[in-house]
Chains A and B, each alone.
Chain A
Amino acid sequence: MSLPTPLPIEVRPQELEGRGPEARGRPSLISKFRRDRVAMGALVLLALMIAVCIAAPLTAPYSPYATDPAHVLESPFSPGHLLGTDGEGRDILSRLIWGGRTSLLTGVSPVAIGLLVGGLLGMVAGYYGGIIKTFVMRAMDILLAFPAVLLAIAIAMTLGPGTAHVIIALSVVLVPGVARIAETATTTACSQEYMEAARASGARGWSIMRLQLTRNVASPPLAYSFSTIGPVIVFAAGLNYLGLGVQPPAAEWGSMLYNLQQSLLEVPLTSMMPGFPIAIAALLFDLIGNAVRDVLDPRQV
């Protein structure tokens, strides 16, 4: 972070009069983000998408479970069914809107959990060092040694099917990466002289972590986590595709993709429909994640 030249306040006190506490600090990051047009556009689209999914009872034209044996495997843009119908005659658009709730939740919440748990572990390891650091970081290395996909599948299979289990499995996979980044950032922050000054004034380890470390360490793990949301959405859909997540007849993008796959040769466009929201959501999160990283952590670009 570049430091503006210090302001000799003895010389120009009048300039400071109007500057309240609100006028400084974080807002500059937000305004930096707002200057990124692509990211702002993505944010608007994503907000729209999330709003439509949350308001599913209002926005979905049909019930996600309503079957219609007379209209099976309709093509997109057929009358009454904008995105067509599946093998049981259920409206795909309605199912995508309802399923989006689960899909987006399983995509975003593991990242949040991973950030929290991984960030905390990394900070503790970096701050205390020694045996604690060895123990925590080697445990993270063991997790990292497994291919992420296989590990998630193994965990989800062991726990049994269910949305919560998919979230847990993905969280476990995400923790080590965040912990590593947080540990590095913490070790760097701890070698700063202001940390010694804080200890010299009698500050507790815990209060140093809460007050000083969280701020000085937050950027890299936060930027990293944001950039993982996109892949994790695809990943979550993948686990659902494998039948490890929601169970029929509940709707979810990944499991819908699996269901429609058997009709791929008959109605190719219809069976591809659930792939679009997955791709779009992942892309939007990725665009936003990149912008967040640029704003929070310019050095890593």
Chain B
Amino acid sequence: MRSAEQGAVLTVKDLRTVISLDGRERPIVDEVSFELFPKQTLGLIGESGSGKTMTALSLLRLIAPPMKITGGQIIYRDRDLAGLPMGAMRELRGSGLAMIFQNPRDRFDPLLTISKQIIEVLLCHHVCTSRRDATRRALELLDEVKVPAAGNVMHMYPNELSGGMLQRVMIGIAIAASPDILIADEPTSSLDVTVQAEVLDLLMEVQRLHHMSMIFITHDIAVARQMADQVAVMYAAQIIEMGDASEVLVRPRHPYTQALLAALPTTVDGDVQAVRNGATKEAGMPSGCRFGSRCGKAKLHGKALQPPPLVEDEHGMVRCWLYEQTAR
């Protein structure tokens, strides 16, 4: 991992979020720890249901029953967000940590014009004091996120804009109150490949201009490679491998990460390797290694029934029995 000398903007320690179903609690975010450094991007990758989005929503405390955060710390500006009163937390949303979402069309109120939705955020965070001022600023924001004919777009309703355009507007809204951290939850998954590239470029540009850190959630490894400085791989609610993107995505150590990368279609040979078996569907989490039943290398150590150790070394972090010795 990068040295902590610059000081992390966000430190997450042993975050745990559970969902109560039929009186039983199942973890959906478990022992998640990471640090986010200034102006860096942390890529959060993993398959559907691995807990990526839930991790993001937990950071913003947008977790509603039957889900709840049961443990861990989220340190931001010397404050623990996990224990912050709701009012203080609300003020930080948008101004400290902002979030953009996957399907921009569902994330806009269909009955409000674009201008109203931007102005709401500007006034709410006291970026602007008057409506006139906010309108002017909203136009600037739309220009900044490269929305063409911004003056017209201001008076439009969300259904009159394309998905790519709406995602730009959402980015504009997210940066309206100059947050330190931008959480992007699969921001381009619902977009065309060409539009996707534009939006990714825009995100990087905006991040550079506003000196933001970013948590970039994706299941597209090519996108993660392009965007992320560090990468955390999630599997069954846990981070199972974390390190510099150049390390993790080039020389993956955890068998799951290896399988994930092997599953990428390449242009060189047509062979695509699926990850063995299906994802865990059992009611509870396996008590031992959560990847154990799908792991091709479990035989090498024969300890799949015991929870794997968390190995931290100069390459990063990995949760696997295979690397137990190297840590010593």
Contact = CB atoms under 8 A, between A and B. Distances in A.
Interface string B211-235: 0000000000000000000000000
A193 B148 contact: no
A199 B125 CA distance: 12
B103 interface: yes
B109 A215 contact: yes
Interface string B63-86: 000000000000000000000000
Residue among B62, B108, B124 with most chain A CB within 10 A: B124
Contact of B165 (A1, A3, A9, A21): A9
Contacts of A8: 162
A300 interface: no
Contacts, number: 111
Interface in B168-186: 170, 173-174, 176-177
Contact of B152 (A16, A25, A196): A16
A203 B111 contact: no
A219 to B, nearest CB: 10
A158 interface: no
A3 B106 contact: no
B60 A6 contact: no
B149 interface: yes
Nearest to B157: A24
Interface string A177-202: 00000000000000011101111111
B101 interface: yes
Given A201-B173, A202-B95, A193 B101 contact: yes
B107 A204 contact: no
B305 interface: no
**B60, B62, B148, B152 — most chain A CB neighbours (10 Å):** B152
Contacts of A21: 113, 155
A194 B60 contact: no
A42 B211 CA distance: 62
Interface size class of B (residues with CB under 8 A): 35 or more
A200 B60 contact: yes
A193 B320 CA distance: 37
B2 interface: no
Interface string B41-53: 0000000000000
Contacts of A203: 120-121, 124
Given A7-B161, A9-B148, A216-B109, A202 B91 contact: yes
A13 B95 CA distance: 33
B129 to A, nearest CB: 15
Which residue, B111, B155, B159, has most C-beta atoms of chain A within 10 A? B111
Nearest to B95: A202
A211 interface: yes
A27 interface: no
Nearest to B170: A197
A279 B220 CA distance: 67
- 10 closest cross-chain pairs (CB), A and B: A202-B94, A202-B93, A197-B107, A193-B106, A21-B155, A215-B111, A201-B94, A3-B159, A200-B99, A16-B152
16 contacts: A3-B110, A6-B159, A6-B160, A9-B156, A9-B160, A10-B165, A21-B113, A192-B106, A197-B99, A197-B108, A200-B98, A200-B101, A201-B98, A211-B109, A211-B120, A215-B109
